[in-house]
Structure 1
Amino acid sequence: MTTTETAIASAEAHSAHNYHPLPVVVATAEGAWMTDVEGRRYLDLLAGYSALNFGHGNRRLIDAARAQLERVTLTSRAFHHDRFADFCTQLAELCGMETVLPMNTGAEAVETAVKTARKWGYRVKGVPDGMAKIIVAAGNFHGRTTTVVSFSTDPEARADYGPYTPGFEIVPYGDLAALDAAMTGNTVAVLLEPIQGEAGVLVPPPGYLAGVRELTRRRNVLFVADEIQSGLGRTGRTFALEHEGVVPDMYLLGKALGGGVVPVSAVVSSAAVLGVFRPGEHGSTFGGNPLACAVALEVIAMLRTGEFQERAAELGDHLHRELGLLAGGDAVTAVRGRGLWAGIDIAPRLGTGREISEKLMDRGVLVKDTHGSTIRIAPPLVISKEDLDWGLDQLREVLRG
């Protein structure tokens, strides 16, 4: 057996099969490239589902982490530490908000948002105890905790995990009339992805997000934007909502906030909303730890320059022009996305999304499939135009059969 085969066999034998990874075993990575245990290089067009927006081994982020490792990595929230205030202040400023509640993973941020919205509903809006409702969109992906899968419409994410958490109503994504009809006096929040990632990089109709903002404001309902995948430069703006000039009541951030170095997530909102919490009512041992804050502070500093957003916008325009030439033919039935993020629907006759991903892997390009016939492209924002074009060339060759 090869080194790759041995590693995969061991993983299959000793780890739960909750993922179905492509048969590649990565050993090192830099920028937009990864190298496997056999020494073969691959162009990374997934970027850890946007966790690696700034590329593998980004020197600024590694240096920030290394410096903090030598000082202190964890205190718990039982004590203050010297990176926490700067992290909260600077992230709030980046978001145009006032208050930050740090966690670790994206799913934790979503769970925190659910708790926040419900507590706000009871303490501020005056919703009767136990009656709070949160509206979500069909096709959503907000994580895999028991509460989050309770409002998933994906059978793979939801099946066999009941009894499910009540208090959620699902409406079609992009349908303002359905959203309006679903709202009642007990509605405390609307929780949406500005672009649905796992669903296949679905961009809502023009004006939809602005309409959601208007509806929620008029009905005294919190607009909670899950920008865990779409935020922090991916779409060519710091936040995907900026494309419609929308500011929500609450941002949910994760993935790229930790720079692919450590898990960092956060709920960012107004003091009035996050002020519903009192000591002991919510928390996390590792949330806002010194190492996480040090890395996230460097991420925030990098985003402040605007260079990554500009790069994602320019290369994203190029990416979508090139993919647009493929759409509507006999190989690609549709292309969607914004910035350096695209969902590509492959004609079924060419194979499943998984099969196309495996063929691209054989040509040195790594992508990931979703929902049968769709593949996603989301390269690190540091990718060069030449490398992106090379990756697109490999896709064209695969689609030629």
Structure 2
Amino acid sequence: MTTAETPAYRSDLPQQRKLVTAIPGPKSTAIHQRRSVAVSAGVASTLPVYTADAGGGVIVDVDGNSLIDLASGIAVTSVGNAAPKVVAAVRESVGHFTHSCFMVTPYDGYVQVAEKLNELTPGSHAKRSALFNSGSEAVENAVKIARLATGRTAVVVFDHAYHGRTNLTMALTAKAAPYKKGFGPFAGEIYRVPMSYPFRDPDGLGGKEAAERAISIINTQIGADQVAAVLVEPIQGEGGFVVPADGFLPALSQWCTSSGAVFIADEIQSGFCRTGDWFASDHEGVVPDLVTTAKGMAGGLPLAGVTGRAELMDAVHGGGLGGTYGGNPIACAAALAAIETMADLDLNAAAKRIEGTAVPILQTVAEQTGRIGDVRGRGAMLAAEFVIPGTTDPDPAVAAAVAKACHAQGVVVLTCGTFGNVIRLLPPLVIGEQLLVEGLGVLTDAVRAI
């Protein structure tokens, strides 16, 4: 519950949608023109409005427009931008030292974050953690750990998966454009199997059956004794917010245990209260061997982690894990404050309230228009998949048009999905109910207008 000591967001920023110019406005447009000659064209932006201020559920641009934030910087600012405890912790930390490198002269903040990760991730077994800068780094290091600990090389991933943009994580990622196109050759010993995708799977294919389908391919085409790790997002992110059918993840986890493979849960987008649990794996009581984290952990500062069974994490020789900036002291301070804020405000309950508000609204417009084939997700990780009415054929053009209409009306939404036909909703978990409903109203009006 919000208290006077733990406010949900900055009190100086009105929580309202307010448009004073067209989107983008003249100041944003001027900056964008400068950007075109200063920044690589390979770095794209969803909406070319330039942020001046943000907090709670709003983003204020340089033109003074206040937009409703249903993206959270891709699930990063779950506690809101400039969350009071995070800001205070960062200010305190930066006044002491900005860097010493944990691999040179370590510091307590890193240890405290590791202790928190060991406490919060699924399972009561002995754990260890290592900290990095980004989700891609966390995934890459999890694969390194699994390969070294098992002495095996094969890594199993899934259709529609997204795991990052480094060379190894591009190989792990399913979608070619824009993430992989032209960037090969990629790392080897990566094998892809079908994901449980209830909306697109054959009727009657439940989670256990979908797992059996994947396991059969692993056994026959790879060999169980060759598999170092099975890497899966408990709820897929960029691939379309695909929620596997119940039973899929437990069956995979059980197969890993019996075969000696490491079960890695990529919780980078789904972790830290986003789905209504501390981690999406908690929903079915799945206990991964390794968990990768990033995004929502540090209130907007770059921090990532790998947490796992002590015997796996400690199998790595000294110096085998690390990085100059990994576990930066300021980011660690932000993470500790963000995690405290999540607990103080019960953001797991907040995520469930967001789901309770958003899903009926999305389901209603789906029934009314026939444009949305599937409403899915959990907590504040929700999606609408757009299809040609009367079919399951993807309709990326309509998804793009709806997103564009929302942007023009001052509501920030993101598209995703292998077919580009999904709009995903990732509001800050501290967003006010009235602001959320207003943002959803703009979205549903856009769908109806199509």
Alignment of 1:15-54 (within 5 A): 15-18=39-42, 19-54=44-79
Task: Determine which of 79, 86, 109 is the counterpart of 1:83.
Answer: 109
Task: Determine which of 210, 215, 237 is the counterpart of 1:197.
Answer: 237
Tell me: CA distance 1:153–1:86, structure 2 relative to 1, closer, same or farther (3 Å): closer
Amino acid at match of 2:349: E
Alignment of 1:1-400 (within 5 A): 2-18=26-42, 19-76=44-101, 77-95=103-121, 96=123, 98-122=127-151, 127=152, 132-156=153-177, 157-174=179-196, 175-181=210-216, 182-183=218-219, 184-260=224-300, 262-305=301-344, 307-328=346-367, 329-347=369-387, 351-370=397-416, 371-400=419-448
Deviations 1:217-243 (A, max 9, x none): 111111100000001000000000111
Structure 2 stretches of 5 or more lacking a match? 1-24, 197-209, 389-394
Using the alignment, how far apart are the partners of 1:265 and 1:80 within structure 2? 17
Amino acid at match of 2:166: T
Assess if the C-alpha contact under 8 Å between 1:222 and 1:250 holds in 2. Answer: yes
Using the alignment, how far apart are the partners of 1:390 and 1:54 within structure 2? 20
Tell me: CA distance 1:17–1:352, structure 2 relative to 1, closer, same or farther (3 Å): farther
Deviations 1:56-81 (A, max 9, x none): 11001111111101111211121121
Amino acid at match of 2:28: T
How far did residue 180 of structure 1 move? 1.6
How far did residue 335 of structure 1 move? 1.3
Report which stretch shifted further, 143-152 or 79-88: 79-88
How far did residue 347 of structure 1 move? 4.5
Using the alignment, how far apart are the partners of 1:215 and 1:233 within structure 2? 27
Q: Classify the secondary structure of the residue corresponding to 1:337.
A: strand
> Identity rate of aligned residues, in percent?
30
How far did residue 346 of structure 1 move? 2.9
Assess if the C-alpha contact under 8 Å between 2:381 and 2:426 holds in 1. Answer: yes
Using the alignment, how far apart are the partners of 2:45 and 2:73 within structure 1? 15
Structure 1 stretches of 5 or more lacking a match? none
Q: Classify the secondary structure of the residue corresponding to 2:305.
A: strand
Assess if the C-alpha contact under 8 Å between 1:3 and 1:37 holds in 2. Answer: yes
Using the alignment, how far apart are the partners of 1:201 and 1:40 within structure 2? 29
Number of residue pairs matched by the alignment: 392
Using the alignment, how far apart are the partners of 1:233 and 1:391 within structure 2? 21
Deviations 1:178-206 (A, max 9, x none): 33220420111100000111111110011
Amino acid at match of 1:285: T
Amino acid at match of 2:69: D
Deviations 1:161-192 (A, max 9, x none): 22221111100012312332204201111000
How far did residue 387 of structure 1 move? 0.8
Using the alignment, how far apart are the partners of 2:344 and 2:296 within structure 1? 16
Q: Classify the secondary structure of the residue corresponding to 1:173.
A: coil
Assess if the C-alpha contact under 8 Å between 2:130 and 2:321 holds in 1. Answer: no
How far did residue 350 of structure 1 move? 9.5
Report which stretch shifted further, 25-34 or 39-48: 25-34
Assess if the C-alpha contact under 8 Å between 2:164 and 2:173 holds in 1. Answer: no
Deviations 1:260-290 (A, max 9, x none): 1x10000001110001122222211111221
Using the alignment, how far apart are the partners of 1:30 and 1:289 within structure 2? 23
Using the alignment, how far apart are the partners of 1:318 and 1:29 within structure 2? 23
Q: TM-score, normalised on structure 2? A: 0.84
How far did residue 351 of structure 1 move? 4.0
Report which stretch shifted further, 242-251 or 289-298: 289-298
Assess if the C-alpha contact under 8 Å between 2:293 and 2:305 holds in 1. Answer: yes
Tell me: CA distance 1:219–1:376, structure 2 relative to 1, closer, same or farther (3 Å): same
Q: TM-score, normalised on structure 1? A: 0.94
How far did residue 82 of structure 1 move? 2.8
Using the alignment, how far apart are the partners of 2:49 and 2:90 within structure 1? 27
Deviations 1:80-118 (A, max 9, x none): 213222222222112245201100100000110111111
Using the alignment, how far apart are the partners of 1:281 and 1:35 within structure 2? 43
How far did residue 385 of structure 1 move? 1.1
Task: Kindly report the root-mean-square deviation, in angstroms, between the aligned alpha carbons of the 2 structures.
Answer: 1.7
Using the alignment, how far apart are the partners of 2:239 and 2:135 within structure 1? 17
Q: Classify the secondary structure of the residue corresponding to 1:327.
A: helix
Using the alignment, how far apart are the partners of 1:273 and 1:304 within structure 2? 29
Using the alignment, how far apart are the partners of 1:63 and 1:357 within structure 2? 35
Q: Classify the secondary structure of the residue corresponding to 1:185.
A: helix
Amino acid at match of 2:104: A
